């Protein structure tokens, strides 16, 4: 089937109208540019406190429909900073979070593709102990494992972190997990996708794309279940 370049997904956002007014009046907390964008978002509503938001795949991922979905032209609450987004959505939407999501998704992919993920399983089942063994600073430990999940480039997870601090503890398990993450069929599969798009093959892009695609499947499955219950 021929790919449609204008493929997009439209979702309805319902924001808290009272909180919206409070935020727009608060000129001391948020930058003027952010408040102006929020006013433009509010004006785009179809009626009341409901806005139709268009989502699309990231650049280079449209044809294969891999990776995360992003709001078009930043006209959606996804594009706003967390404090604004969470406050406006709390009343009418559910926030779904998977604990230790990246590595639990890797276990799912490993089971689906018959790939060895024994060290990843051990980490997920003994996470607190593994984090403590890696560093006395829990944040450093968590970022070290996330760095592996994002192909050695922590900025793909969060580009505001700055200089990465190496853990001072036992890195044996971390290195074994890195081997499991890199040496599997899914990495090879995603390399082929990148080749077809004439993109530079980057292990970090693989992680961001394939894991996000798995996350998308999980999120939409949950959304369908919630729609059956609540709507």
Greater model confidence, 182 or 33: 33
User: How many residues does the structure list for the chain?
Assistant: 231
Span 50-77, average pLDDT: 81
Kind and range of the H or E element at 36? helix 32-43
Q: What confidence tens digit (pLDDT) does each residue in 97-136 have?
A: 778 888 888 888 788 878 888 999 999 999 999 999 999 9
Within 44-126, where are the H helices? 82-89, 101-113, 118-125
Greater model confidence, 14 or 214: 14
How far is residue 37's CA from residue 76's CA, in Å, rounded to a whole number?
10
Task: Look at residue 67 in the predicted model and tell me its pLDDT.
Answer: 67
Parallel/antiparallel/unpaired status of strands 69-71 and 9-14: unpaired
Greater model confidence, 187 or 19: 19
Rounded alpha-carbon distances, angstroms, from residue 95 to 63, 87, 220: 29, 12, 13
Based on its alpha-carbon atoms, the radius of gyration of the chain, rounded to whole angstroms, reads 20
Whether 190 shows a pLDDT value over 70: the answer reads no
Note whether 202 and 208 are within 8 A (CB). no
Task: Look at residue 219 in the predicted model and tell me its pLDDT.
Answer: 45
How far is residue 143's CA from residue 165's CA, in Å, rounded to a whole number?
9
Whether 169 shows a pLDDT value over 50: the answer reads yes
Comparing 23-32, 50-59, 92-101, the range with the smallest average pLDDT is 92-101
Dihedral angle of Cα 127, 207, 154, 56, to the nearest 10 degrees: -120
Greater model confidence, 158 or 25: 25
Comparing 13-17, 65-69, 170-174, 179-183, the range with the smallest average pLDDT is 65-69
Comparing 14-23, 56-65, 126-135, the range with the smallest average pLDDT is 56-65
How far is residue 92's CA from residue 143's CA, in Å, rounded to a whole number?
32
Mean pLDDT of the chain: 78
How far is residue 9's CA from residue 28's CA, in Å, rounded to a whole number?
35
**pLDDT band for position 205 (50/70/90)?**
very low
Whether 199 shows a pLDDT value over 80: the answer reads no
**pLDDT band for position 64 (50/70/90)?**
low
Sequence spans of domains, the chain: 9-93, 101-210
Whether 217 shows a pLDDT value over 60: the answer reads no
Provide the percentage of residues in the chain whose pLDDT is more than 70: 70
Note whether 180 and 111 are within 8 A (CB). no
Comparing 119-133, 152-166, 188-202, the range with the smallest average pLDDT is 188-202
In degrees, rounded to 5, the angle at the alpha carbon of residue 53 between the alpha carbons of residues 47 and 57 is 170
Structure tokens at 173: 């398990």
SS3 14: strand
Task: Look at residue 214 in the predicted model and tell me its pLDDT.
Answer: 54
């Amino acid at each position: 089937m021929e790919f449609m370049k204008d493929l997009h997904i439209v979702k309805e956002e319902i924001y808290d109208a009272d909180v919206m007014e409070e935020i727009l009046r608060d000129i001391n907390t948020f930058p003027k540019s952010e408040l102006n964008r929020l006013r433009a978002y509010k004006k785009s509503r179809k009626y009341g406190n409901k806005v139709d938001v268009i989502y699309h795949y990231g650049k280079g991922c449209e044809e294969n429909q891999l990776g995360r979905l992003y709001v078009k032209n930043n006209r959606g609450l996804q594009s706003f900073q967390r404090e604004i987004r969470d406050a406006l959505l709390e009343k009418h939407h559910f926030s779904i979070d998977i604990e230790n999501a990246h590595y639990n998704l890797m276990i799912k992919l490993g089971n689906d593709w018959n790939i060895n993920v024994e060290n990843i399983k051990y980490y997920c089942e003994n996470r607190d102990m593994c984090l403590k063994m890696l560093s006395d600073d829990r944040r450093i430990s968590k970022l070290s494992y996330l760095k592996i999940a994002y192909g050695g480039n922590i900025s793909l997870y969060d580009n505001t972190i700055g200089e990465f601090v190496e853990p001072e503890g036992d890195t044996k398990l971390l290195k074994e997990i890195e081997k499991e993450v890199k040496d599997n069929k899914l990495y090879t599969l995603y390399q082929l996708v990148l080749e077809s798009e004439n993109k530079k093959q980057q292990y970090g892009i693989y992680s961001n794309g394939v894991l996000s695609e798995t996350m998308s499947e999980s999120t939409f499955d949950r959304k369908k279940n919630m729609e059956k219950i609540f709507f």
